[in-house]
Amino acid sequence: MYQEMDFDKIDISSEPPVVEPARQYYFMAKCREWVKGFEQRNHRLPCASVVNMGCQMNARDSEKLRGILLEAGFEMAEEEKGDFVLYNTCTVRDNANQKVYGHLGALHSRKKKNPSLKIALCGCMMQEPKVVERIRTTYSFVDLIFGTHNIFKLAELLYRALTEKKMVIDVWESTDQIVEELPSNRKYPFKSGVNIMYGCNNFCSYCIVPYVRGRERSRSPQEILSEIEKLAGDGVKEVMLLGQNVNSYGKTLKEPVSFASLLRQVSQIEGIERIRFMTSHPKDLSDELIETMGDCNKICRHLHLPLQSGSSRILQQMNRHYTKEQYLELTRRIRNCMPDISLTTDIIVGFPGETEEDFQETLDVVRQVRFDSAFTFLYSKRTGTPAASMEDQVPEAVMKERFDRLLQEVQKIAFQVCRREAGMVKDVLVECVNDHQKGYVSGRMGNNLMVHFPGDPSLIGQIVPVELVEARGFYYMGKMKH
C-alpha cells in the first residue's frame, strides 16, 4: 500500500528510475511541475475525471487512477468534466464498446472548442487490437490509450500525453508484473476493495475476459496482508477481496496458498470487521472454503456463485466444467454449513443452441436454490469468443420471451427470500445519508441487503444494530437499537 511521498525531494532533472514503483513517483513529480505551469497560466489547478465503466476490479483500478492523478497535482472533477478525461473501459459485451464510442463522439465537440482538453482510454476494451486501430483512425483526437496490464503506468503516460503532440499508445499483450505500491483515492474511507489476483484461466466460451485480462497471477499473501493491515490502520472496517476467480487464488505462487487459508489470515487482522470476496467459480469452490466461511464470523454470509445456465448440456458448451447436479449439490453443502447464507448468481439466457428444455432446466435450478437475487443477461454475441461462431444462435424474440419469464421467477422468489429476516436485529454498516428520505441513513447487512433507517451522518462508517421492521422487496426499513 502506498505511503505518502515528499515529491519535492525527487530529482526530476536526473534520468527516471528503472524500478517500479519509484519510476512512477518520479513521473508524478514531473507532472506536478507541469501543473505549476498550468496554474500560472490559468490561475487554477487542472481538473481530471475518471469514468469507471466496468466491474469491481475496474472500480478498484479507478480508485488507483484517481489517486495517481491527485498526487500528480490535479483536482478531481465530476464525470466527463475537466481538462483530462479518462475512461476506464469494459468489454464484456459489445454494447459496452458502443457506449464508449458514443461518449467519444460527445467529447469530440468539446475538444474542438477546447483543444487543450486531454482524452484518455484504458482498461479491458483497449486490449483489443481492432479497437485500438479504430480509435487511432476514427477518433484521432484521443490523446492516450493504455490497457489493463499497465494501469500502474498512468503517471508516466500522462506526462507523455501532456508534453507530446501526438497520440500516446501503450498497450501490453501480457505481463507477469504486479505493481501495487501506488496512491489510491477510495470512494469510502471505511471500506475498500483489495486485488488478490489478476487474470483468468477459465476460457468460458462466451467470455472475452481471459483474452483482455491475461492469465491468472496471484499476489503474495504477505503483500495482501500488509496492504489490509495498513487499510485497517487507516480506519477501513470492511474489505472486498477481488479477483476474476478468487477460488483459484494461490495456485500460481511458488509456494501455493489456498484461498481459504488467505481468508483465515485476513480474518485475524485487528480492525477488519467484515470480509467479502468475489467472484467465485463453482468448479473451484472447495469444502475447505465452505468450512472456513462457516467458522469465521468476519466473513460475510453472502456468496455470489454464477450459475450461467441450469442445463448440463449448455454448461458443457459454455466450458464451465460443472453440471447442473454438481451445482445443486454444491449449494446444498453451502446451505448445510450456513443455513442463513445469502446466495446470488449470474444467469445467461439464449446461449447458442439453448432449447426450451434447456431453459426449463435453468428455471428448475432457480426454484430449487431460491437465490436472494440474480443478475440476468440476454446472451450477447462477443466477437473473439468461441460462442460467437457457434451454430443455432437463438432468435432475439425467443431470448427476450425467456428472459422475461426468468426475471419474473427470480423476482418472485427473491421477494419471498429477502423477507426471511424481518423482525430480527442485524448489524448494519452505515454507508451514506439516504437521498430519498430526510433524516434517514442507508447501510448494508452482511448478506449485502440494504437497510434504510432514521439516523444522522455521524453514523456513516459505523457498524450498528438495526431492527428490520419492514421488508420492501429487495431492501428493509429499520430502526436502530440503542
Proportion of the chain above pLDDT 90, given as a percent: 85
Taking the C-alpha atoms of residue 175 and residue 195, their distance in angstroms, rounded to an integer, is: 16
Mean per-residue pLDDT over the chain, rounded: 94
| CB-based contact 78:147 (threshold 8 Å) | no
Q: Report which of 274, 272, 183, 265 is spatially closest to residue 222, judged by C-alpha positions.
A: 265
Instruction: Report which residue type is found at 168.
Output: V
Taking the C-alpha atoms of residue 315 and residue 321, their distance in angstroms, rounded to an integer, is: 7
Q: What is the dihedral of CA 202, 205, 206, 208, to 10 degrees?
A: 50
| CB-based contact 450:443 (threshold 8 Å) | yes
Which is more confident, 178 or 405? 405
pLDDT exceeds 80 at position 79: no
The confidence score (pLDDT) of residue 1 equals 45
Q: Where are the beta strands (DSSP E) in 61-133?
A: 75-76, 84-89, 118-123
- Per the document, the length of the chain is 482
The confidence score (pLDDT) of residue 308 equals 98
| CB-based contact 255:282 (threshold 8 Å) | no
How, if at all, do strands 84-89 and 47-52 pair? parallel
| CB-based contact 197:244 (threshold 8 Å) | yes
How, if at all, do strands 84-89 and 440-445 pair? unpaired
How big, in percent rounded to 5, are the helix, strand and coil portions of the chain? 40, 20, 40
Reduced to 3 states, what is the DSSP secondary structure of residue 20? coil
Angle at 346 between CA 123 and CA 324, to 5 degrees: 130
The confidence score (pLDDT) of residue 3 equals 61
Burial 200-223 (b: 16+ CB within 10 A, else e): bebebbbbbbbbbbbebbbbebee
Taking the C-alpha atoms of residue 359 and residue 381, their distance in angstroms, rounded to an integer, is: 18
How, if at all, do strands 168-170 and 144-146 pair? parallel
For residue range 255-304, list pLDDT tens digits in order. Answer: 999 999 999 999 999 999 999 999 999 999 999 999 999 999 999 999 99
* Phi, psi (deg, nearest 5) at residue 232: -60, -40
Which residues make beta-bridge pairs with 428? 445, 464
- DSSP type of residue 86: E
* DSSP H stretches of helix in 147-220: 154-163, 209-213
pLDDT range class, residue 29, cuts 50, 70, 90 = very high
Report pTM: 0.88
| CB-based contact 204:319 (threshold 8 Å) | yes
The confidence score (pLDDT) of residue 2 equals 53
